[in-house]
Amino acid sequence: METSAANPKIELALALALIGFSGVIFVGAAGLPEPRFEPLGSAAVPRMLAGLMACLSAIWVIRLLPALRKAHPAPAAPLDPEAPKPHPGLAVAVLLAVFAFVAVMDFGLASFKVAGIGFVILCGFLLTHRDLRKLPWIVGYAVVLVLACDFAFTRFFYINLP
Amino acid sequence: MPFFDALFYLLTPLPFVLVFLGVALGIVVGSIPGLTTTMLITLTLPLTFFMDSVNAIMLLVGMYVGGVSGSQISATLLRMPGTPSSIMTTFDGYPMTQQGRAARALGLGITASFVGGMISFLVLALLAPPFSRLAITFGPWEYFTMVLMALVMLSSLSQGSLLKGLIAACLGMLIHMPGIDPSSGMPRLTFGVDAFEGGLSLLPVLIGAFAISQIIKDIINIDVRPPKADLAEGRMLLSLGDCRRHSGNFLRSSLIGTWIGILPGIGSNIASMLSYSAARSASKEPEKFGTGHEPGVVAAETANNAAVGGALIPLITLGIPGSVVDAILIGALIIHNLEPGPLLFINAPEVAYGVIAAYLVGNLIMFVIMMLAVRHIAKVLYVPRAFLLTSILVFCVIGIFAVGNSFFDVWVMLALGLLGFVMERAKMPLGPFVIGFVLAPIAEEHLRSGLMSTGGSLEPLFTRPFAASFLAISIASLCWPAISTWLRKRRAGGKVAQG
């Protein structure tokens, strides 16, 4: 049997989400018209794919069950003080910043220049672990980067940025 | 000769500068662990929208060649492959660096990449035109079964488990389903959302799945800093004696790489693994592999570059991607209103032969740039990540907005980025997902037109020789993991019984 190095809980969540997504496709395909001019029709392929994906995901869930039953907190590995720490919280913070950056422009609250400079400063500040000494460099970089992008897209590619 | 027309066109200033720029950028990005060639090409796609199609494709092919070659720099100096295709290079390249032979290892790798690329170019130039003439005779059943074969082979051979690969391929194909049904012209699976009527565009899906998910991973590991590598003085250019000594390895690895590249869905990482294994099996000193042995570097780097040329053959002759990057190149052709497949040689010969010419010139440029500047390029390994990742995020958002002038695409990109990240955490390969997305319309269109032509009968699947062969290969690829496990168990059982 295949073994996996991934976290079985993440795998289970994804497998169940995919089964749910297959269900949504089935519901959506049920409302499509029957084929008239051809044997297959527009609903057949989505139904086939959703059915196949649901079956395969169900097999995945069944294969995961033994791993989930065995799953118990692993003994804490000795920490290497030299090893760099992962920063999942930082990734979440940067992602929220990206969502805010896009939302601000999408809802017309700020132009690309304003939102972009703000985003680059915030993102750079977070990614340098809020090091205030690097902030002036980040501000300068943000202004140059965003103005250069704005110039290239509006003057060179003739695209109206928000 | 259309090839020479394309070559002479490429040697004019603008195309040459674009290929040079593509190769240089590919080398730089490929050398930085965490940034991939796939990411570079997907991020460049929106910019090529404003270019002439031939120039755009030449630029992207240059990036492809540069990226695969550049990844050996970090693989050799830091034991951190820039792309998966250089994993095998770390086995002997890094030990050579530790022994103070970094320049020699890079010189070998660069020459191997160049030789692999040139041999693969010859195969590409010789095989592509007759392949395309054969492919013109293919009908919908051949195309449908070929897409099926590509997806199954990619799912079973690319990486990880077959089950997850198949699920990823189904998901990629399903994500392509919303939009206007190509046959009836009616909206399908739009759930009342107007924005879905246009379907999900290729670029947001590609950039989300590859660039955004990679950035999330890089941010989580932002404190991982590459150790300082000492690229000591040393001769990089190989002597004639060196070339003669490695000639058998060059040839064998090039042929393995090219052949693996031609097979749909198998990337250059598998090519370098197989080539490395073959070199070790053929060696009189197999125990030296993994300890800084020169043939190990030669085998890995020759094959991964040769695979690029091999993978371009199904791309330009059949419209079937040999790897994820090839799927993106197919996307580039579609964006430029070109139909990938055998008709490319008839409808747009300048593009088909332009790909071949760009591959040749790209390899030559790669060799010159790498030999002259690799010591300087190695410094980019230490660019501060905070600035790099922030800039890439801005380019992703604004690049996607610029293509469709729509924020819907930007939201799709972010959603696909999260999905890609979760898929990678669950060890589900992204390759079958993206290739499924690219090939879904081709598979559906050909299946439906095939069924229309036969009145709903599936008989041609078994009576048409090419379609039946492709179907048989698909079934064999599906069954092979189970058969190989059974054979392994049987052998192990036999040994226990003998013992």
Whether residue B428 has pLDDT greater than 60: yes
Q: Give CA torsion, residues B173, B177, B182, B185, to 10 deg.
A: 180
**Residue numbers of A between 113 and 132 with CB closer than 8 Å to B:** 116, 119-120, 123-124, 127-128
E strand intervals along B143-277: 179-180, 187-188
Select the residue of B161, B174, B225 nearest A25 (Cβ to Cβ).
B174
Give the gap in angstroms from C-alpha A91 to the nearest C-alpha of chain B.
6
Instruction: State pLDDT tens for residues B307-321.
Output: 999 989 988 888 888
For chain B, helix, strand, coil in percent to 5 are 80, 0, 20
Report which of B165, B104, B200 is spatially closest to residue B324, judged by C-alpha positions. Answer: B165
User: Which pLDDT value is given to residue A74?
Assistant: 57
Instruction: State pLDDT tens for residues B37-85.
Output: 887 888 888 888 788 999 999 999 999 999 888 888 888 887 777 676 7
What Å distances lie between residue B343 and B125, B201, B286, B306, B339, CA to CA? 17, 24, 47, 25, 7
User: Which pLDDT value is given to residue B464?
Assistant: 92
A93 within some domain: yes
* pLDDT, one tens digit for every residue, chain A (162 residues): 344 467 888 999 999 999 999 999 999 998 888 887 788 888 999 999 999 999 999 999 999 988 887 766 555 555 666 777 888 999 999 999 999 999 999 999 999 999 999 999 999 999 999 989 999 999 999 999 999 999 888 887 777 888
Residues A112, A64 share a domain: no
Nearest CA in chain B to A43: B188
A-chain CB neighbours of B418 within 8 Å are 95
B250 within some domain: yes
B-chain CB neighbours of A14 within 8 Å are 422-423, 426, 428
Residue B405 region by backbone torsions, left for phi larger than 0, else alpha for psi between -120 and 50, else beta: left
A2 within some domain: no
Q: What is the mean pLDDT of residues B246-273?
A: 84
> Using the beta-carbon criterion (under 8 Å), do B223 and A59 form an inter-chain contact?
no
User: Which pLDDT value is given to residue A3?
Assistant: 42
Q: Is B236 exposed, middle or buried (0-12, 13-18, 19+ CB in 10 A)?
A: buried
B298 within some domain: yes
Whether residue B430 has pLDDT greater than 80: yes
Q: What is the extent of the structural domain holding A105?
A: 88-156
Q: Predicted ipTM? A: 0.91
DSSP B116-147: HHHHHHHHHHHHHHHHHHHHTT--HHHHHHHH
> Using the beta-carbon criterion (under 8 Å), do A33 and B186 form an inter-chain contact?
yes
What Å distances lie between residue B373 and B21, B27, B94, B270, B398, CA to CA? 14, 10, 20, 28, 32
Partners of residue B188 on adjacent β-strands: B179
Q: What is the mean pLDDT of residues B401-405?
A: 82
Instruction: State pLDDT tens for residues B16-39.
Output: 999 999 999 999 888 877 677 887
Q: What is the rounded CA–CA span in Å between residue B256 and residue B260?
A: 6
Whether residue B197 has pLDDT greater than 60: yes
Residues A16, A59 share a domain: yes
B498 within some domain: no
**Collapsing DSSP states into helix, strand and coil, what is residue B65?**
helix
Return the residue in A102, A109, A135, A143 with the most chain B beta carbons within 10 A, the one to mutate for interface testing.
A102
Give the gap in angstroms from C-alpha B295 to the nearest C-alpha of chain A.
32
Confidence of residue B254 (pLDDT cuts 50, 70, 90): very high
User: Which pLDDT value is given to residue B338?
Assistant: 87
A75 within some domain: no
A157 contact B CB<8A: yes
A92 within some domain: yes
Burial per residue of B441-459, b for 16 or more beta-carbon CB atoms within 10 angstroms, e otherwise: bbbbbbbbbbbeeeeeeee
Q: How many distinct structural domains can be found in chain B? A: 1
Give the gap in angstroms from C-alpha B409 to the nearest C-alpha of chain A.
11
Least confident segment among B29-38, B451-460, B489-498: B489-498
Give the residue from A70, A96, A122 where a domain finishes.
A70
Q: What is the extent of the structural domain holding B283?
A: 2-493
Nearest CA in chain A to B161: A2
DSSP A81-142: TTSPPP-HHHHHHHHHHHHHHHHHHHTTSS-HHHHHHHHHHHHHHHHTTT-GGGHHHHHHHH
Q: How many distinct structural domains can be found in chain A? A: 2
Confidence of residue B159 (pLDDT cuts 50, 70, 90): low
**Residue numbers of A between 12 and 41 with CB closer than 8 Å to B:** 14, 18, 21-22, 25, 28-29, 32-33, 37-41
Residues A93, A65 share a domain: no
> Using the beta-carbon criterion (under 8 Å), do B188 and A42 form an inter-chain contact?
yes
Type of residue found at B56? A
Give the gap in angstroms from C-alpha B52 to the nearest C-alpha of chain A.
13
Bigger pLDDT: B63 or B224?
B63
Whether residue B477 has pLDDT greater than 50: yes
Least confident segment among B133-147, B217-231, B337-351: B217-231
> Using the beta-carbon criterion (under 8 Å), do B407 and A32 form an inter-chain contact?
no
Instruction: State pLDDT tens for residues B294-306.
Output: 999 999 999 989 9
A135 within some domain: yes
Confidence of residue B229 (pLDDT cuts 50, 70, 90): low
The rounded Cα B22 to chain-centroid distance in angstroms is: 16
Q: What is the rounded CA–CA span in Å between residue A24 and residue A7?
A: 26
Whether residue B266 has pLDDT greater than 80: no
Residues A14, A60 share a domain: yes
A134 within some domain: yes
Instruction: State pLDDT tens for residues B78-88.
Output: 777 767 678 78
A108 within some domain: yes
Least confident segment among B37-51, B173-187, B463-477: B37-51
A-chain CB neighbours of B452 within 8 Å are 38-39
Report which of B215, B265, B237 is spatially closest to residue B394, judged by C-alpha positions. Answer: B215
A77 within some domain: no
Average pLDDT, chain B: 86
Q: Which of B22-26, B85-89, B424-428, B491-495 shows the highest mean pLDDT? A: B22-26
User: Which pLDDT value is given to residue A95?
Assistant: 94
Q: What is the rounded CA–CA span in Å between residue A151 and residue B309?
A: 37
